[in-house]
Amino acid sequence: MPYVNIKITREGATAEQKARLIKGVTDLLVEVLDKNPATTVVVIDEVEMEHWGIGGLPVEKYREALRNASR
């Protein structure tokens, strides 16, 4: 009966990769807590880069700052 929400930035994850996330999380819940896969719901949200912030910046700007800092 678990509900799992996975939020990732929209960066080209394929249908196959998303299916692996769904299977992997469901298997994990079976293995660790013996949950029933038939009532385990997994919802993936792909978030636009402009909508994801870290370090006070939109993620692309944050990564750019990290790259510049490491030069």
Please identify every residue annotated as catalytic: 2
Alpha-carbon distance of 71 to 55, in angstroms, equals 19
Q: Which residues bind to a second copy, rule: CB under 8 A?
A: 1-9, 13, 15, 17-29, 31-33, 35, 37-47, 50-59, 61
The CA distance from 26 to 20, in Å, is 10
Q: E-assigned strands of 10-51?
A: 41-47
Q: How far is the CB of 49 from a second copy (least distance, A)?
A: 10
